[in-house]
Amino acid sequence: MQHINDPTISAQDDRARPTLVEVSLGRLAENYRAICQRTAPAQVMPILKANAYGHGLVEVAQLMQSLQAPYIGVAVLEEGILLRERGIQTPVLVLGGILGNQVPLFLQHHLTITASSIEKLSQIDQAAAQMGVQARVHLKIDTGMERIGVHYYSAEPFLEAALQCRHVDVEGIYSHFANADAPDLTHARLQIERFEEVLHFYTRRSLPPPRLRHMANSGAILQLPEATFDLVRPGLLLYGVYPAREIAHTVAVRPALAWKSRVVYFKVIQPGHAVGYGSTWAPDHLVRAVTAPVGYGDGYFRSMSHKAQVLLRGKKYPVVGRISMDQIVVNIEWDSAYNDDEVVLIGEQGENAITCADLADWAGTIPYEILTNINTRVPRRYLAYDR
């Protein structure tokens, strides 16, 4: 039971902040299964970095574990450690670059390490020897992204060095696309050719390649079946959002996240009376307006000012004036609305919907940034998963 002096209120509590995110675990499960069907017999590694794209790292990992996902991908060491501390036993690959002094923590928490250079391989091998364990490693090949990884044209010494490591299990080898979600796939196909060229190292020596060869992100899953290899890495697609409007929808997915608030104030605004900081908008006639407690402090971008719309009573209305840190004002003209009415920022209401892609267009960014910028002060509510 919660004590009266306990300031913590869960998202399930009616007294919780009226701005919240709802995550449908059922839709996430459906999306995962749809991706599995598209890419079979390859394995599927759900990517859960950046708080599972705003959906909740631990909760989504628990679902993926219940669905027997063979692997989980995250970006940084801390994400992997948190999953282990919360009881996730599924193998976890940390996709980002590492520092040598982090290696013991990877090994202590049984996390799979991305090795992106001969030096990193050596550090991993030495640390594993000192701890008396085998390190599980995936080799990173740069085929055209220029972030981390050994260049494809100089990968042979790297692969030779991996063969000499005695305390490293080279379980996987991978690369990453720069343009798999683009209409023109010329560069993406060039990257596939470069990756396959690297893999020929094993063929030439009559050696088996690492067990998991992988390259396909969401865009490649949708557009490049030849990039499937042994494992695919869906990120945005898992959450029911397509990487770009023009991309082929070859996997049917539905958004798993809805972002909602509620009306906390209603007023009539006189002609010429400006709304918000900077007084950038004023009606030229009498209008009704409502206030909702959400703003750029929650990740509702200020750059959407004078562009954003919300759903209220099944109808779209414009957000007027500059978006504040904690509040927005919505012009409902002379329609009716009441305190506690639901305001949909992302999601469906009646026959209408506002998508993550809509917010990205209004903010001049991409859907990835919209989802990952929904602040952790926004409570998450998880809809029951009963399958």
pLDDT in tens, 345-382: 999 999 999 999 999 999 999 999 999 999 999 999 99
Token pair belonging to 304:
């959407």
Q: What's the CATH superfamily of 41-239?
A: Alanine racemase (3.20.20.10)
Cα–Cα distance between 317 and 319 in angstroms, integer? Answer: 7
266-270 — which CB contacts under 8 Å span 24+ positions?
266/290, 266/291, 266/337, 266/338, 266/339, 267/291
CA atoms within 13 A on the CB side of 290: 26
Q: Is 140 a catalytic residue?
A: no
pLDDT, tens digit, 9 for 90 and up, residues 143-162: 999 999 999 999 999 999 99
Q: Give residue limits of the domains in the chain.
A: 41-239, 257-383
How does DSSP classify residue 150?
Answer: E
pLDDT, tens digit, 9 for 90 and up, residues 31-65: 999 999 999 999 999 999 999 999 999 999 999 99
Q: Which amino acid is at 197?
A: E
**Average pLDDT in the 284-313 region?**
98
Rounded to two decimals, the pTM is 0.94
* Active-site residue identified among 32, 49, 260, 296: 49
CATH code of the region 257-383: 2.40.37.10
Helix (H) or strand (E) holding 163: helix 156-164
Helix axis angle, 186-204 relative to 156-164, nearest 10°? Answer: 40
How does DSSP classify residue 47?
Answer: B
Distances (CA, A) of 244 to 177, 179, 193, 248: 15, 11, 24, 9
| Mean residue pLDDT across the chain | 95
Give residue 14's pLDDT. Answer: 63
> Would you say the CATH fold of 257-383 matches that of 41-239?
no
Give residue 4's pLDDT. Answer: 38
Cα–Cα distance between 235 and 9 in angstroms, integer? Answer: 30
Is 75:49 a contact under the CB 8 Å cutoff? yes
Give residue 384's pLDDT. Answer: 80
Q: Is 277 a catalytic residue?
A: yes
Contacts of 153 (CB under 8 A, 6+ apart): 194
ω before 293 within 30° of 0 (cis)?
Answer: no
pLDDT, tens digit, 9 for 90 and up, residues 231-285: 999 999 999 999 998 898 999 999 999 999 999 999 999 999 999 999 999 999 9
* Active-site residue identified among 153, 265, 267, 277: 277
More confidently predicted of 217 and 387 = 217
In whole angstroms, how large is the CA radius of gyration of the chain? 24
pLDDT, tens digit, 9 for 90 and up, residues 305-316: 999 999 999 999
Is 241:30 a contact under the CB 8 Å cutoff? no
Answer yes or no: is pLDDT of 387 > 80.
no
Give residue 386's pLDDT. Answer: 47
Helix axis angle, 118-131 relative to 156-164, nearest 10°? Answer: 10
Looking at the chain, how many residues does it have?
387
